[in-house]
A and B are shown apart, each in its own frame.
Chain A
């Protein structure tokens, strides 16, 4: 088996398009998954509407207990049946953000609940209402604790976009695969593919580290 570096330079630009799609998938899935996950996490902490609480719990339970690949297939086959026909791109974004939201729900809930309950009692005793307690006392402290697990989640989402190749989304992995199938170059292609993922994940991690040190110091 030979590894030809000149091929790497030749392949790298041909995978830009796939990389761009991977970035777009990651971005949209993160925007949707993060915002709805945080909203659901806050809802879980609030304890209001017990019926809906059970529903959210069940959703999280299902999403954490089944493989993402299965979830992608379910969304892919279920959405059209429900009368919602989306492009492969948006089908993929739906699956990934539904998946991410479940994890973010738990990250948000546990971060808020990890703020010592004594501070909540102190907040009550000085007359803050529940919303003020959440907003002024608990959330700022929870936010900092949420950064490392959210960074993990974001990295997972970026890598998980590769699974969308099964529903014909032409992201980075799928794009690499198609070169392999046509030209039978394995190592050089996967080298470039892996390198691109690494660079993207590393940039996200670096930004998160700065955020954790500077902004929430």
Chain B
């Protein structure tokens, strides 16, 4: 069976400064791969390269056996190139550190928007499905609220529902709780944990180490733009091999 996602030789530099050195990664169905490491170690860049929000300088991203065409992500992409990339992007649900909800739309509209506009689902059907997803993340009573009327934790759960609305085959989380206080962090983590219970394939960058250890099928430790060490959570957290990993782990309370 094809892996859900395969990165080979993906690298990215910003203004000549390498953010991600050539990196390989294979994600199989049901994997929960958690990226940890200091800020600036390349976790976000890796995630953003996966759905081409950052266009990789080298390498290929293959989703469900089909390589993504980076030409579709360029500002001057032709309509066809852009459309073919969009079709693959919606197979990947992205959750951002700063939620990035559409501020002028209600929670329900945020979730129903792309099923309606991209998948051309009828409004009533899309809304019903959106309400269902909001229920899944515990926000059915907040469907009509705007993002500015919700807490950060609620906003992030709406963002998760929005990403799930397209029934993606893999979810990408870019430090989903880094902008939240401990209590709100817990409610978002509960939502993510519930998703792993349903067998969702995930690639997740986080600084929540206990959570990482609990849900990960594999931990990837990154430093200075490369994968330094990877393995089962108990191995990475309790018997790391590399010096850099050891030092990072010693910082965890």
Contacts and interface: CB of A to CB of B under 8 A. Distances in A.
B237 to A, nearest CB: 31
A119 interface: yes
Q: Which of A119, A125, A129 has the most CB of B within 10 A?
A: A125
Given A118-B96, A121-B53, A128 B104 contact: no
A129 B90 CA distance: 12
A67 interface: no
Contacts of A121: 53, 94, 96, 100
Interface string B73-106: 0010001001100110110111010111111100
What is the interface of chain A mostly: helix, strand, loop, or mixed? helix
Interface stretch (A20-28, A130-138, A195-203, A207-215): A130-138
Contacts of A119: 100-103
Nearest to A140: B104
B162 interface: yes
Nearest to B79: A129
A141 interface: yes
Interface stretch (B111-119, B217-225, B238-246): B111-119
Contacts of A74: none
Contact of A127 (B75, B104, B159, B166): B166
A140 B87 CA distance: 25
Contacts of B117: 128, 132, 136
Size category of the A interface is 20 to 34
A126 B113 contact: yes
A44 to B, nearest CB: 14
B35 interface: no
Interface of A: 47, 116, 118-119, 121-130, 132, 136-137, 140-141, 144
7 contacts: A118-B96, A118-B100, A119-B101, A121-B94, A121-B100, A128-B114, A128-B117
Given A124-B86, A126-B163, 20 more contacts: A116-B100, A118-B100, A119-B101, A121-B100, A124-B89, A125-B51, A125-B92, A126-B90, A126-B113, A126-B114, A126-B118, A126-B162, A126-B166, A127-B86, A127-B90, A127-B166, A128-B113, A128-B114, A132-B117, A137-B102
Which A-B residue pairs are the 7 nearest by beta carbons? Answer: A126-B114, A118-B100, A127-B90, A122-B100, A125-B94, A127-B118, A127-B86
